Chain A
Amino acid sequence: MNFYDFHIHPKFSEGESSVEEIARRAKLLGFKGICITNYFTNKSKIKTLKKEISEVSEKLEFKIFMGFSAKTVNQLKKLVRMRKGYDVLLVKGSDLYLNRKAVETKEVDILTHPELNRRDSGLNHVMAKLATKNNVAIEINFREILQSSKNTRSAIMHNIAENVRLCKKYKTPIVICSGAASHWQLKDPKVLISMACLLGLELNEAKKALSELPENIIKMIRERQNEKWVRPGVKVV
């Protein structure tokens, strides 16, 4: 089975490791590919990032995708407009309005940690249905669990389990990511699968969340790279 981790922050985002360090560690742990996630920047920076990523990818013979994460609704709108320029569009969840906008937008691939810094789970049945309709995956973020402890960790795990329950009911795609900000926070695929099992997924569902769903996203990336692609559902014939 090919496993992918679609949420890793490198040095130029909020992380502390270079793209090469991250790629080497991910390859060692048995990942087939990763997605390097950055926050919104201008067009010129995208080009330099793309160059760096492609250089490392060729050097290590390892699949590396470039993703952007939107922190606000304005950033989301701007990133949707330049959707063809990068591979994966993520939305940094936490704000309810932004969570709702993310699941309503077809261009979005992953809504990351909707329960971040919240007392509730950040997702309800209406949003889960919308996410299914627009094919937006909800993320289980390992870093949130890793960096918390005691009562905070149990609250986070409860909220994630609540989201998993909703997603299973409404058949919303779920993706498991490490959310690593350093190559030391990258985890073995088996660890991520085990954690997802503890949060309410069956073993085969957890494996799909780490391999099949990212593969679907990759398929979409390839479609988008086609010159005939205009926007989701629209192609030049």
Chain B
Amino acid sequence: MKRLKILKPTLREKNRYTSFQVISEKGEEFTYSDLESAIWNVTLDFLGEYGVSKTSIWLLKDCWNQKKQIGILRCNHKSVQVVIAALGLIDRLGDNRVTFKILKISGTIKSIRKIMG
């Protein structure tokens, strides 16, 4: 058996996708890895290892728009509030001051991609 059989839709984890925009001081263009490390650091600090394990948080790499600085963060449906609150606690990326603007929260990645253009 090479791969696990795909779970039934009712047994799968229910995901929520949060699209956000990074607003920076001088319009700096942050890379995916900059953002990924910042999100991991702040969520681990704020929620702890056990807390993060419950959120199933993931920053989608192929959805990161470096020009517009818009990205999509995936988490399970029970931890949307926790993840957004943690996102609000990021006020610096490296030496630059940043603010996160939450654009949309959705249950499907298809509807949220429309915003990104």
Contacts and interface: CB of A to CB of B under 8 A. Distances in A.
Contacts, number: 52
Interface string B78-100: 00111011011101000001111
- The majority secondary structure among interface residues of chain A is helix
Contacts of B45: 149-150
Contacts of B105: 190
A146 B90 CA distance: 8
A146 B91 contact: yes
A1 interface: no
B28 to A, nearest CB: 14
A192 B87 CA distance: 11
Contact of B89 (A25, A145, A184, A190): A145
- Consensus secondary structure, chain B interface: mixed
A191 B91 contact: no
Interface of B: 23, 25, 45, 80-82, 84-85, 87-89, 91, 97-102, 105
26 contacts: A28-B23, A28-B101, A30-B101, A142-B88, A146-B89, A184-B25, A184-B99, A185-B91, A186-B99, A188-B100, A188-B101, A190-B84, A190-B102, A191-B84, A191-B85, A191-B88, A191-B100, A194-B80, A194-B84, A194-B88, A195-B85, A195-B88, A197-B81, A197-B85, A198-B81, A203-B81
